[in-house]
Amino acid sequence: MARLLLFNKPYDVLSQFTDRSIGADRRTLSDYIDMPRVYPAGRLDRDSEGLLLLTDDGRLQARIAHPRFKTPKTYLVQVEGDVGPEALAHLAAGVTLNDGPTLPARAERIDDPALWPRDPPVRFRKTVPDCWISLTIREGRNRQVRRMTAAVGHPTLRLVRWRIGDWSLDGLAPGTWREIRV
């Protein structure tokens, strides 16, 4: 039976077990998970938060992370500005980025989610509104969600991956994990 860990990766944590940077003192997965022979199935940028799956099974890792399987990933995204129907429709239809068009996505505006506070907090500007969207994509290009929201005129302020396929962050506080046998 394969091991699968659901980990709520905090902000400013690398999605790897070691930091190969010389002189850097950055937090890694080893600061939170002490389990041999599990590896991340995909990545989550250092400045992003949320669900990261880790497994000891190479086939499961490929099924989760490889683009050909098109595993849906849902993000809660705080963006700058007031997102309207045109921007949401553009995200849903697919956005052309410098490395080509994205696949169609599911995009909707949502109420502010009940999330943990981020440390450091997201910058607040009285003169610039912000709002939250839910964005589900089926590919995983480098910084794709951030590039998509910027392409429609709404830069990302905070990015939390909430769901990958059937697995979600429900009940997981930042920095905690839960094991599932699959």
Query: Which CATH number, 3.30.70.580, 3.90.76.10, 3.60.15.10, 3.40.50.2000, labels domain 3-67+167-181?
Result: 3.30.70.580
Distance of CA 103 to the CA centre of its chain: 17
pLDDT at residue 125 tops 90 = no
CA dist 100 → 3, 97, 120, 124 (Å): 35, 5, 33, 32
User: What is the structure's pLDDT at 165?
Assistant: 94
pLDDT at residue 92 tops 90 = yes
Domain boundaries, the chain: 3-67+167-181, 72-164
Q: Which CATH superfamily is domain 72-164 in?
A: Alpha-L RNA-binding motif (3.30.70.1560)
Q: Tell me whether residue 45 is one of the annotated catalytic residues.
A: yes
Q: Identify the three-state secondary structure at position 24.
A: coil
171: left (phi over 0), alpha (psi -120 to 50) or beta: left
Same topology, domains 3-67+167-181 and 72-164? Answer is yes
Strand partners, 74: 136, 163
pLDDT at residue 65 tops 70 = yes
Residue 10: asked if its preceding bond is cis (omega within 30°), the reply is no
Active-site residue identified among 12, 45, 56, 57: 45
Mean pLDDT for all residues in the chain: 93
Strand partners, 78: 132, 158
The structure tokens listed for 167 are: 């697995």
Q: What is the number of other CB atoms lying within 10 angstroms of the CB of residue 58? A: 11
Q: Whole-structure pTM over 0.85, yes or no?
A: yes
Per-residue pLDDT reduced to its tens digit, 138-154 = 998 889 999 999 999 99
